[in-house]
A = this chain, B = another copy of it.
Amino acid sequence: MSDAAVSPAVNEDETALATPFVKCLVRLIRAQDSYGSWEGQSDAELLADFIVTREQRRAIPIIGDPDPDVLWRLDLFYTAVGLAIEECSGLMASPMMEMSHEGFGCVLLTTGRLVVLSKTLRDVHRFGFETLRKLAAAGTKLVDDAIAVIEAYPDVARA
C-alpha cells in the first residue's frame, strides 16, 4: 500500500491511536478482556463506542439517565488520563468520581496532596467524541494540564 492510497482520515486515526493517552485507554480496555473475546479486534474497533458523531448525538435525548456502558467508558477515560499522567510524571494519579443518577457530577484526579484535575460532568449520557482525533486531543489536553499543575507544585504532588 503506497502512502497515496491512505486517506487523510486513516492517517489521522493512526496518529490518534499512537498518542500515549489513547494507548493507555486501549490497554485498560484490553485488561478487562478476561476471555479474550476482543483479541481479534483492532484498537479502533475497541474504541468505536467512544465515538459519537454529530448525527448520533442529535438522536440522543437532551435529558437522560446514563446507562452502565457509558459510565464504564467515562470511568475508563479518566482512569486512562490518570495512567498517562503516571507514565509522564512517575506519580500515581487516582481518579474519584461523584455523580447523580441523572449524569451530573464531578471528577477529581489527585496525586499526593495536589488536585491535578477537577472537572464538572454533565450530559454524561451523551459522553463521546466526534472522531478518534478529538478523543485523543481531549485526553491529551487533560494529561498535559495535569502535568503542568504537577510541575507548578512539585512538593505538594509528592506530599
Contact = CB atoms under 8 A, between A and B. Distances in A.
A51 interface: no
A156 B96 CA distance: 20
Contacts of A113: 114-116, 118, 149, 153, 156
The complex is assembled from copies of this chain, and their number is 2
A130 interface: no
A88 interface: no
A100 to B, nearest CB: 13
Interface string A35-53: 0000000000000000000
B115 A96 contact: no
A79 interface: no
A150 to B, nearest CB: 10
A149 B112 CA distance: 12
Contacts of A114: 113-115, 156
Contacts of A98: 96-98
10 contacts: A96-B98, A108-B108, A110-B115, A110-B118, A112-B115, A113-B149, A113-B156, A114-B114, A115-B115, A153-B156
Given A110-B110, A114-B156, 14 more contacts: A96-B96, A96-B106, A97-B98, A98-B98, A110-B115, A110-B118, A112-B115, A113-B115, A113-B153, A113-B156, A114-B115, A115-B115, A153-B153, A153-B159
